[in-house]
Amino acid sequence: MRALALALAVLAFAGPAAASEERPTASELESELVCPVCETTLDTSNAPVALRMKAFIRERIGAGDTKSEIKAQLVDQFGPTVLAVPPRRGFDWLAWLLPLAGLAVGAVVVGALAWRWSRRRGDPQLGEEEAGPLDPELEHRLDAELARYGE
């Protein structure tokens, strides 16, 4: 039953993804590409090279190119840094995996420190014998203060 539900979900999302690849929109591509001059996405850049890239994208969409073909042509011309999201292959996997590994290591460190801190505090239900005796001078001062406020 779960396999059927999973297959239906995959089929439901496959159509829009394929349509986006075959018939991309200019705004979609402009949000996925970076201006090589100002290093912001094309949809937020007004640099001359960004304007030329936007015109190129509109021209290629009009010619019927797919999203992958347009991106490949821009990568050939400007290099892989024109992609807002690094490709998921080869050495570029590090851009995807290192942040996740950093989060995992951070979670483990915080968890270990919290566990260690909670063990150091001890059980609040423990009596005085577990906490150790007070210094006699401090105990005398404490008794005197309590007696003064008890009156």
Residues 71, 16, single domain; the answer is yes
Answer with the residue of higher pLDDT: 54 or 121.
54
pTM assigned to the model = 0.50
Number of domain units in the chain: 2
For residue 48, the enclosing domain spans: 2-85
Residues 53, 107, single domain; the answer is no
3-state secondary structure 106-117: HHHHHHHHHHHH
pLDDT the model gives residue 18: 45
CATH number at residue 47: 1.10.8
Residues 8, 81, single domain; the answer is yes
Among residues 85, 114, 141, the one where a domain terminates is 85
Residues 11, 81, single domain; the answer is yes
Per-residue pLDDT tens over the stretch 14-43: 444 445 677 889 899 999 999 988 889 988
Residues 22, 44, single domain; the answer is yes
Residues 60, 128, single domain; the answer is no
Answer with the residue of higher pLDDT: 16 or 113.
113
Residues 6+ apart with CB under 8 A from 75: 82, 83
Residues 8, 65, single domain; the answer is yes
What does residue 66 show for φ and ψ, rounded to 5 degrees?
-85, 170
pLDDT the model gives residue 76: 92
